[in-house]
Structure 1
């Protein structure tokens, strides 16, 4: 009923143009269809903002989009050197192409040329053809493109190689994606080595305690080796509940080492008990600081503190008038 009786507000030409630009920007940014301006819910929302504003039609927005696209095509044609075109093929089967170049004032400009669904096979030849189609759609001279930056997918790398052979566009792999692969590969090596350490230490200590070798020099070497191993690993393997070893606590929480097979049974029990007690203490502390509703309608923050510590904070509700 309000929409029929509310007082109409004014809407100047400048304000209407600002609204229209904002709507078009929203459609482009959120990748919404132009038909959105014909939806009843969207019309109702715009009417709430300003009943006097006349919502632009779908053909109007299409015409404005073509106008902006024409300006972009002209800018790309007049640019002597386009820095690169970035491509990415994600699991959702979309191809995203973004161009970057320097403007007249030497500022870096970037434009998303397309985000298009890929319905055909993602072969290197198809990807190369799709990228060429995008450059042709925006009338970008091939000689103005200097490089293609891409991820490390095998098909995308092969597509970049095809474009390099056809147009001499340099193939540049994305630094962030490459660095991520390096880190992941390094972590795999570290995990493989760390999984062997505990087993090696256990086997080594058992071997030097073997009773098969009875000669005095061998027994002397066994004792010396055992002493050296124990001394070097003493700080790593020592554990007391009063002064917990952070390394052993972390190992107890790691799915790969949580059984602590490299420790004696009594020490395994101490470490696991300490982890359990610490977890219970954290849970109790979190529970104690949760606000509780008292009988007189006040909300209080309770905690299990000693009498000499800061008193409990009490917050009174505002009385309703």
Structure 2
């Protein structure tokens, strides 16, 4: 008997093998493999790079670079657009947006709002982990404030400030959340929870206004930081509490204006009288 050896060809993208015979080794089997099974294949027009700007127009560091196109980067750009412009997720399903995207890039498959939401959370987790690693290398200063909305809901925001290795100042909002009350202990608990969540151990100071509740909150945080296993508190927290200069100036100006209330009221009445007169007079 004569042994027949079947030659095989290998896919350049995923190393799959195909028989090279006249019955089953035609071009149709390769096309079917590329379209349905080969996950490593990318069309030539996606791999082809063209010259373009490295950033948005007006960017100081903008320069001419070779750039390619991909569906993933295009969707990432749509997510960034929604975040920066604060538009609803449903904008990707509007007729005008899809027409615009088709004219900008006909190959782009515009995703649904559910896909955009999922990609947004994935991007948030990635950026949060990057920020965690960056903050962990530096000593940070914090600012926080609380206020009540028109719906009678209490909110608190916590912002971190730090200088990187290249002496660039950074400002990052770490937390924006509801708080049960404006009491000092509640503020301190929420700030402590945020510091633990972000893994922040090196705190230089916390800037707040002159409310008595903030003093209680800072004292609570200092006591808790003393008990941390890897506590890196500076001078036992003696200078942890930094009072907001803008708030102090505001109090000074208000106190000074109280002595001029009569003159200020008279000036306001004169302006109100002039504005209320008809332009035809």
| TM-score class, shorter | 0.5 to 0.7
- Distance between the aligned counterparts of 1:155 and 1:42, measured in 2? 45
Q: How many residues align?
A: 191
Q: Does residue 128 of structure 2 align to residue 78 of structure 1? A: no
> Would you say the 8 A contact 1:16–1:53 is kept in 2?
no
Distance 1:129 1:62, change over 3 A: same
Aligned ranges 1:1-321 → 2 under 5 Å: 13=69, 17=73, 20-21=76-77, 23-24=79-80, 26-27=82-83, 30=86, 36-37=88-89, 39=90, 41-44=91-94, 45-51=96-102, 52-55=108-111, 56-79=115-138, 81-82=139-140, 84-92=141-149, 93-118=154-179, 120-141=180-201, 144-167=202-225, 168=237, 170-191=240-261, 279=274, 283=277, 286-287=279-280
Note the residue ranges of structure 2 that are not aligned, 5 or more in a row: 1-44, 47-67, 103-107, 226-236
Does the residue aligned with 1:88 lie in a helix, a strand or coil? strand
Greater share of residues in strand? 2
Does the residue aligned with 2:122 lie in a helix, a strand or coil? helix
Q: Which structure 1 residue ranges, 4+ long, deviate > 6 Å from structure 2?
A: none
Distance 1:151 1:135, change over 3 A: same
> Would you say the 8 A contact 1:151–1:157 is kept in 2?
no
Q: What is the CA distance between 1:21 and its match in structure 2? A: 3.5
Per-residue CA distance 1:105-158 (angstroms, 9 max, x = gap): 00001111111122x2322111101001111111111xx101001122221232
> Would you say the 8 A contact 1:164–1:171 is kept in 2?
no
- Distance between the aligned counterparts of 1:251 and 1:151, measured in 2? 29
Per-residue CA distance 1:224-278 (angstroms, 9 max, x = gap): xxxxxxxxxxxxxxxxxxxxxxx8xx885566xx9xxxxxxxxxxxxxxxx99x9
Distance 1:86 1:28, change over 3 A: farther
- Distance between the aligned counterparts of 2:81 and 2:208, measured in 1? 27
- Distance between the aligned counterparts of 2:119 and 2:146, measured in 1? 32
Note the residue ranges of structure 1 that are not aligned, 5 or more in a row: 1-9, 196-246, 259-274, 289-321
Q: TM-score, normalised by structure 2?
A: 0.57
Q: What is the CA distance between 1:163 and its match in structure 2? A: 2.1
Q: TM-score, normalised by structure 1?
A: 0.51
> Would you say the 8 A contact 1:94–1:115 is kept in 2?
yes
Answer with 1 or 2: which has the greater Rg: 1
